[in-house]
Amino acid sequence: MQKIFLSAVLFLLSAVAYSEGEFKPYKITPGISYYSNEYSTEHGVSQLGEEKNFEEVYQNYNYYEAVFDEQERMVVFKAYKRGSIELSETYVYEGEDNGPARKIITSPDGSETVVEF
């Protein structure tokens, strides 16, 4: 009886672990800032690392912020160094395509560079 119970528990736990891997761990709310202490770049688009709360990342030397739109596409990405913005990227989308048409990179001095995709 114990073996059957243990097998059932392990089966249920593996099913839960599998289903969690298929979905995002949180629901993205448009216009709200999300933070991480890591990021990556894929095809010229910055990707926020594992989400953390602001209190966790603010204590780090470098941290990153992202804001998403209604289609869960990143529209703003900011890199901070010691609490000051080092880099800001604004993504512009045209139509329903998931990829950005261009990004506008703003440096700390306010100068802008436009990158077309």
List, for residues 42-52, the tens digit of each pLDDT value: 888 999 999 88
Instruction: Tell me if 41 is assigned to some domain.
Output: yes
65-111 per-position pLDDT tens digit: 999 999 889 999 999 998 899 999 999 999 877 789 999 999 999 99
The radius of gyration computed from the CA coordinates of the chain, to the nearest angstrom, equals: 19
Please report whether residue 4 resides in a domain: no
In a domain, residue 1? The reply is no
Q: Which of 33, 116, 114 is nearest to 76 (CA)?
A: 33
Domain count, the chain: 1
Residue with tokens 């990405």: 77
Rounded distance, CA 92 to CA 45, Å?
11
| pLDDT given for residue 2 in this prediction | 52
Q: How confident is the model at residue 114 (pLDDT cuts 50, 70, 90)?
A: very high
CA angle 12, 15, 20 (to 5 degrees): 125
Residue 66 β-bridge partners: 34, 77
At 54, the pLDDT band (50, 70, 90 cuts) reads: confident
